[in-house]
Amino acid sequence: MQEYIRKRVLEICYYMLETKATVRQAAAVFNVSKSTVHKDMTERLPSINKKLAAQVKEVLEFNKAERHIRGGEATRKKYQEMAN
């Protein structure tokens, strides 16, 4: 693995652990695609540090479990703004 990729993987990892960020939020902060963040966290990180990978996996699973709630809130807010 090239050094700049390894560095990016670890930076994204620490960011996600500190902020509990979603894949989409992390992608925006690091100016990479959602696919890149997902691949970095699920495929590359385990080969670098299994313990960190397990912690990030918990964040990813939590965000996935709450995804439907955030989507509903966004839709509700959109229609409230349209009504005003």
Pick the range with the lowest mean pLDDT from 38-47, 54-63, 69-78. 69-78
pLDDT surpassing 80 at residue 56: yes
Summarize pLDDT for 4-22 with one digit per residue, the tens.
Answer: 999 999 999 999 999 999 9
Total structural domains in the chain? Answer: 1
* Dist CA 73 CA 4 (whole Å): 37
What number is the average pLDDT over the span 15-31? Answer: 96
pLDDT of 37 reads: 97
The pLDDT mean for the chain works out to: 91
| Residues spanned by the domain of 14 | 3-83
Q: How many degrees, rounded to 5, is the angle at CA 50 between CA 60 and CA 23?
A: 20
**More reliable by pLDDT, 74 or 16:** 16
